[in-house]
């Protein structure tokens, strides 16, 4: 049986994939799927007496409007969401679907450790293996 954390992670991943699908198709059925998944994510915490938690529904409506090109700051909204996607392939796919060109998906050359030329100094040379 799936734990609550595992189930919520899967649902969150499904929500991100639904947003990607809507970004590609711009179909009303896909937008409704995003809204349904967002409502389910908002309900994950159990029944509440006050209906104040609408984070995913609010974020979904803002993202879907930005994908459709409605608000003036649509590019900023989409870039911000793209930067928050942890999975590199999903981030790249979303960036490509939205035409975001300066995604931070590839690590920079400066992030690689510098090679130490004297690292293996003093070790015996490899012998060729005979078969």
Helix (H, G, I), strand (E, B) or coil at 71: coil
**Listed range (44-48, 51-55, 86-90) with the worst mean pLDDT:** 44-48
What's the whole-model pTM score? 0.70
Residue bearing tokens 């409605």: 70
Are 76 and 97 spatial neighbours (Cβ–Cβ below 8 Å)?
A: no
Q: What 8-state DSSP symbol labels residue 120?
A: T
Please provide the average confidence, as pLDDT, over all residues in the chain: 82
Are 34 and 60 spatial neighbours (Cβ–Cβ below 8 Å)?
A: yes
Residue 18: which of 9, 7, 4, 29 has the closest Cα?
A: 29
């Amino acid at each position: 049986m799936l734990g609550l954390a595992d189930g919520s992670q899967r649902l969150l991943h499904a929500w991100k994939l639904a947003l990607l699908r809507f970004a590609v198709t711009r179909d009303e059925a896909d937008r409704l799927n995003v809204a349904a998944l967002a409502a389910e994510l908002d309900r994950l915490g159990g029944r509440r007496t006050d209906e104040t938690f609408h984070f995913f529904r609010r974020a979904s409506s803002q993202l879907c409007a930005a994908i459709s090109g409605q608000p003036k700051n649509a590019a900023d909204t989409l870039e911000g969401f793209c930067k928050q996607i942890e999975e590199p392939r999903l981030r790249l796919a979303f960036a490509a679907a939205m035409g975001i060109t300066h995604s931070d998906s590839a690590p920079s050359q400066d992030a690689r450790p510098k090679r130490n030329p004297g690292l293996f100094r003093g070790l015996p040379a490899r012998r060729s293996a005979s078969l």
